[in-house]
Every structure is written in C-alpha cells, then in structure tokens.
C-alpha cells in the first residue's frame, strides 16, 4: 500500500515505513474482526453494527436505524432485517423515539455489552498496555497523527 515511488532520503524511508504500518494495521483489524465474527457466530455487518452501537453509546449518542444504514452503507431495508437478527439474538432493543413517533432508538442489551467485552476486552487491555509504555508527549504525537490520517481517508 506504500512504496511504489522510490524513496531516496532517510525521511522518505520513514514516511514509507509509517504508511506500511498503517496498511498493516488495517489488515490486522480485518483479521481481528474476522476472528471475533467467528467466535461470536455473527456476520461481518452485524458485528460492525454492534461496534458502532458500542462507540456511540460511549459518546452518549442515540442511534437510529437510519444512522446504522448510513454507517454500514446498506439499505434501510437491509437494516430492518439486521435489526430483526440482532433483536432475535438478544443483542439490541428497538425503543420508541421520545419525540418522533415514526423513529426508533436502538439500544444495546446488557447481554450484548457483556458479549462484546468478553471478546474485545483482552485486546483492549493489551492495547492499553502498549500505550502505557509511551510518554505523554509521544502519545500526543501519535494521537495527532492518527487523527490527521483519519481526516484524509474519511473526509
């Protein structure tokens, strides 16, 4: 994913290395989600939906079926079926929206939170262990870099 323009200076090599690391990270994420998908006996989309719900919950943001459809890039029809599956498996509940009677709010069940952290928890702790070994300044630089990369790949 990086390296088809010949590097010439040490800086070029450093840039190439970091972009290769970014690519490797993407692959590692794919494989991790693949593994967890297998462990939880879910398909990729349903797991991605669950991840979104966890993230949004931590930010105290409500999630509608429409939000899910946009994030997952599937139709709202597919989203209805997806919610049927997650509801039947006890991972989510459809709650009425307090103000808009057409709308729904999707909330995670305790079982889903438990299952999620059962499967992600060990890796999250391991990631925290990695981050702990860096200084505050280094972490700030890394955070800034990752943030900037996010902005250019998903503007």
Partner DNA sequence: TCCATTTGCTAGTTTATCTAGCGATCTCGT
Partner DNA sequence: ACGAGATCGCTAGATAAACTAGCAAATGGA
How deeply is 46 buried, as exposed, middle or buried, from its count of CB atoms within 10 A (0-12, 13-18, 19+)? buried
Q: Report the candidate in 90, 51, 93 with the shortest Cα–Cα distance to residue 72.
A: 51
What tokens were used for 155?
Answer: 């503007």
| Binding residues among 22-81 for a copy of itself as defined by CB under 8 A | 22-32, 34-35, 37-38, 44, 48, 51-52, 54-55, 58, 71-73
User: Applying CB under 8 A, does 97 fall inside the site for a copy of itself?
Assistant: no
Residues that bind DNA (CB under 7 A): 43-46, 64-66, 73-85, 94, 97, 99-104
**Cα–Cα distance, 30 to 18 (Å, whole number):** 18
For the segment 100-129, give every residue that binds a copy of itself (CB under 8 A).
Answer: 120, 123-124, 126-129
- State the alpha helices, DSSP H only, in 59-134: 65-72, 76-88, 110-132
Nearer to DNA, 66 or 144 (CB): 66
Residues 6+ away with beta carbon under 8 Å from 103:
64, 96, 97
CB of 93 to a copy of itself, least distance (A): 21
Q: Which residues form the interface with a copy of itself (CB under 8 A)?
A: 1-4, 10-11, 14-15, 17-19, 21-32, 34-35, 37-38, 44, 48, 51-52, 54-55, 58, 71-73, 120, 123-124, 126-132, 134, 136, 138-143, 145-150, 152-154
């Amino acid at each position: 994913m990086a390296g088809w323009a010949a590097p010439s200076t040490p800086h070029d090599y450093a840039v190439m290395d970091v972009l290769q690391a970014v690519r490797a990270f993407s692959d590692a994420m794919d494989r991790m989600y693949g593994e967890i998908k297998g462990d939880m006996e879910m398909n990729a989309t349903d797991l991605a939906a669950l991840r979104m719900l966890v993230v949004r919950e931590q930010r105290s943001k409500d999630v509608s079926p429409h939000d899910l459809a946009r994030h997952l890039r599937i139709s709202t029809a597919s989203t209805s079926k997806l919610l049927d599956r997650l509801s039947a498996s006890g991972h989510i509940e459809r709650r009425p929206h307090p103000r808009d009677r057409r709308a729904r709010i999707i909330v995670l069940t305790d079982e889903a939170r438990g299952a999620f952290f059962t499967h992600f928890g060990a890796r999250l702790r391991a990631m925290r262990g990695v981050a702990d070994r860096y200084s505050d300044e280094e972490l700030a630089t890394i955070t800034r870099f990752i943030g900037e990369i996010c902005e250019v790949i998903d503007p």
